[in-house]
Amino acid sequence: MGNERRVKMHDLVRDMALRITTGTPRVLVEAGVRLMEPPNVQEWNKDLEKVSLMENWGLQLPYPLQMSPPKCLILTTFLLSNCRITSIPEGFFKHMHALKILDLSRNPIMSLPISIANLKNLTALLLGECQNLEKEPSLSKLKFLKELDLHATNIKQVPHGMENLSRLKYLNLNHVELDEIPIGILSNLSCLQNLIIGEMLIRGEELHGLKKLEILKGTFYDLQSFNIYVQSLHYQEEPREYVIQVGKMGCRHAIYSRKYIELCGCDFYINQIMLPPNIEELCIEDADRVVVCDSLDYISVANCLKLKRMPLYLSHLHNFQPSPALSLSVYIEPKEWWESVEWYHPDTKSLLKPFLSLL
């Protein structure tokens, strides 16, 4: 074929390209072009399937009173992120019943039109970093919703009807002012794969039935609640990635692994703590005694001055000669604790020395 070059294109990408270039335009993209108002009514044709107006910092959605809301009966995707929109007319989504993906993230809106509650085909509602958003419509009718992002919003309570979102796979409530998720909500979300709730308190029994969970980032009430969750992992796979806090909020260090647990200010003894079998990183702050497992490759002990004896046993160190190829990092603060602490196994201290960093 000489110097002829070919590009293999995914079927979905090819299909979309053909739709854009043939027949009636079904995609409207005016992203980052400094729009001050939405496209005129002629551009909102009935055949539109996807619209992106994102990154238009001066865009405002209110229409003149004499103009009816856009009629996009087959519109499935509407992207309006980072447009500095402050309000949305109540009837704006009135004729968008086919809408599946609605991205309003990073806009200073305080509330959403109630008509969003009637978008029954929505699969993704993205409102992250809408820092002024205090309330949202009921979600009880959004039976097909799979992704809900409310991180860094100003909501004061869990959205009404969230317990009905049985198909939800992704939930992000990180950096919101909620203290906890009411009992009975998470346990109903049996399809959850990603649960990101940061400092919001959760109970171990609420996660017992979440067998599809792949990513977990949250805070447990106490060791008892945490132990209940760890026990449930005997009957289901543990998440492939987690960042778990137990106890009061500490000074979280840089995280070097996919499976991280931090115990801060916990009053526990040797037989009171359970850990997932494949934990990779454990951070202990302001705590008595702890048992760690052999899968650890990162150990951090900070400001545990009252901890006099460390019952730490790592079989992969004791059974084999340590080598630089071993993936292990040990961070200790302060240096005085390292010098004075006693060890469950007398050789542990010397074996850890090649991997030690004193802070």
**Residue 141, by phi and psi: left (phi above 0), alpha (psi -120 to 50) or beta?**
alpha
Give the whole-angstrom CA distance, residue 119 versus residue 83: 22
3-state DSSP call for residue 115?
helix
Domain layout of the chain by residue ranges: 14-178, 248-359
Q: Are strands 77-79 and 27-29 parallel, antiparallel or unpaired?
A: unpaired
| E strand intervals along 178-280 | 194-202, 215-220, 241-247, 259-264
3-state DSSP call for residue 232?
helix
- Which two structure tokens, joined as six digits, stand for 315? 């079989």
- Which two structure tokens, joined as six digits, stand for 326? 């071993």
- Which two structure tokens, joined as six digits, stand for 232? 């449930």
User: What per-residue confidence (pLDDT) applies to 342?
Assistant: 84
User: What per-residue confidence (pLDDT) applies to 108?
Assistant: 94
Nearest-Å Rg of the Cα atoms of the chain is 26
Per-residue pLDDT in tens (0 to 9) along the chain, 359 residues: 455 555 666 666 666 665 555 555 588 888 888 877 777 766 777 788 999 989 988 787 765 555 677 888 999 999 999 998 888 888 888 889 999 999 999 999 999 998 899 999 999 999 999 999 998 889 999 999 999 999 999 998 899 999 999 999 999 999 998 888 888 999 999 999 999 998 888 999 999 889 999 999 999 988 888 999 999 888 888 999 999 998 766 556 678 889 998 887 776 654 567 888 888 888 877 767 766 566 777 788 888 888 888 766 666 666 655 555 567 788 888 888 888 888 777 777 888 888 888 87
Angle at 127 between CA 191 and CA 59, to 5 degrees: 150
User: What per-residue confidence (pLDDT) applies to 162?
Assistant: 94
Top CATH class, 14-178: alpha beta
Cis peptide before 38 (omega within 30 of 0): no
Residue type, 149: D
User: What per-residue confidence (pLDDT) applies to 216?
Assistant: 97
Dihedral sign from CA coordinates of 157, 104, 25, 10 = negative
Dihedral sign from CA coordinates of 328, 276, 229, 195 = positive
User: What per-residue confidence (pLDDT) applies to 4?
Assistant: 53
